[in-house]
Structure 1
Amino acid sequence: MDVRSRLVDSGVELLERDGLQSLTLRTIARAAGVSHGAPRHHFPTYAALLAAIAREGITDLDERLSPALTDPDAAVAIRTAAAAYVAFATERPEMFALITRHDLLEGAGGHLRKTTGRWIAALHTRLSEARKAPIDLEDTAALWASVHGLATLTSRRSAEPVADVDPSATLARVLDLHLRP
């Protein structure tokens, strides 16, 4: 495995195990078994290294969302994609935290913005199909914000104080509200 790949793989492992705060050039280099200067030879900036690490998570999430969004039934597609998004956030909370930090990836996260834009466009089309009428982009943004909010609460375990609330039931209710004609 080449040094660049080792740095990215080590960064993913550190992120998943120790969180975003653990990702420094030195800790990633140490985990990869290379000199502390090696990351600079393969990535022009720290943000570029983070973007390479984030790409692994974006690819995983894309592999979950893209097939879900192609279901012939638009409402089923939205429900399946939303459940996959929340599941990703719950299963990989640290990666979810990284890929949603556009500020950290600014200038190096073009792949993230392109992929997110594709998801939003597909969601917009499917929401319009589910409602059987043209919709405003604000409707799509509201749906995305609701699902993302629940994913964030779940991934950060912020919903736990409300012990009687089932995230799956909450997601179903959120989607019921957004899928109304």
Structure 2
Amino acid sequence: MAQEDSLRERLIGVGVDVVMTDGIAALGLREIARRAGVSHGAPRRYFATHHALLSAIAQRGFADLRARFEAATAAVTSPRDRLAALAHTYVRYALEHRGMFELMFRHDLLDSGPHTSAHGPRLRESTLPLFETIVALIAECRTEPAGRRRDDVRSSAEPPPAVTAAALWSNLHGIAQLWAWDSLRLALGTPSAGPAPGGDHLELLVTAALDAHLGPARA
């Protein structure tokens, strides 16, 4: 059993290396088996489907992102500042690990639906808590007077925290993707320098997204 678990973990580790270096298009069972030095049929002993292996690889990405979130918010107390730390961390991760980031949110490809892995939770059980954290922080921001402008009048039509969280998440994801594709660099007249984080312009874009959904932070 220990040997089987070791091989399973090796296959996942090789898959992580493949997606980090060559992107999601290279994540075939045969390629992972070849790089792991095992037979082409070996992955099928541990993963019933290709989607199940992709999900296990994506789980590693979520574990890494979760650890980064925890580190970024360790010394932050206010919900607005915690949300800002998460937002900046999310976009930086997206640009630093493009292949893994693309895989993590492809729930149309991954084993996040009716299939349950015998070796761990379904992927949705890793993704949903991250989203729920954003929802909770937005709800906290709305209850703190210091988190809103003094002249901000609460509208009865204000969307639920989950809707605002989904809109903010979409905004941040779009910033990361459009920046990686050079579209935002072109629009803003910034130099094209590959997928690396973009300094002040990128920081301003993330801050603008937060302000758009939460209202400008009070000084």
TM-score, normalised via structure 2 length: 0.74
Pick from 61, 77, 93: which aligns with 1:88? Answer: 93
Once the two structures are superposed, the pairs formed by residues 114-125 of structure 1 within 5 Å of their partners are: 114-125=125-136
Pick from 80, 88, 98: which aligns with 2:103? Answer: 98
Q: CA deviation at 1:152?
A: 2.3
Match in the other structure for 2:203: 168
Once the two structures are superposed, the pairs formed by residues 34-49 of structure 1 within 5 Å of their partners are: 34-49=38-53
In the alignment, the residues of structure 2 paired with residue 155 and residue 5 of structure 1 have an alpha-carbon distance, to the nearest angstrom, of 30
In the alignment, the residues of structure 2 paired with residue 111 and residue 42 of structure 1 have an alpha-carbon distance, to the nearest angstrom, of 15
For structure 1, the 5+ residue unaligned runs are none
Q: CA deviation at 1:22?
A: 0.7
Moved more, 165-174 or 87-96: 165-174
Once the two structures are superposed, the pairs formed by residues 97-176 of structure 1 within 5 Å of their partners are: 97-106=102-111, 107=113, 111-132=122-143, 136=160, 137-164=162-189, 166-176=201-211
Once the two structures are superposed, the pairs formed by residues 46-61 of structure 1 within 5 Å of their partners are: 46-61=50-65
Which has the greater radius of gyration?
2
In the alignment, the residues of structure 1 paired with residue 73 and residue 213 of structure 2 have an alpha-carbon distance, to the nearest angstrom, of 16
In the alignment, the residues of structure 2 paired with residue 93 and residue 157 of structure 1 have an alpha-carbon distance, to the nearest angstrom, of 14
In the alignment of these two chains, the number of paired residues is 181
Q: CA deviation at 1:138?
A: 1.4
Structure 1 or 2: more helix by fraction? 1
Contact 1:25 1:36 in 2 (8 A): yes
Match in the other structure for 1:177: 212
Contact 1:69 1:126 in 2 (8 A): no
Q: CA deviation at 1:43?
A: 0.9
In the alignment, the residues of structure 2 paired with residue 10 and residue 123 of structure 1 have an alpha-carbon distance, to the nearest angstrom, of 31
Q: CA deviation at 1:6?
A: 1.6
Q: CA deviation at 1:157?
A: 4.2
Q: Secondary structure at the match of 1:104?
A: coil
Q: Secondary structure at the match of 1:118?
A: helix
In the alignment, the residues of structure 2 paired with residue 158 and residue 93 of structure 1 have an alpha-carbon distance, to the nearest angstrom, of 16
Match in the other structure for 1:17: 21
Distance change (3 Å), C-alpha of 1:69 and 1:102: farther
For structure 2, the 5+ residue unaligned runs are 145-157, 191-200
Distance change (3 Å), C-alpha of 1:114 and 1:131: same
Q: Secondary structure at the match of 1:161?
A: helix
Q: CA deviation at 1:179?
A: 1.8
Contact 1:15 1:23 in 2 (8 A): yes
Counterpart AA for 2:51: A
Once the two structures are superposed, the pairs formed by residues 66-81 of structure 1 within 5 Å of their partners are: 66-68=70-72, 71-81=76-86
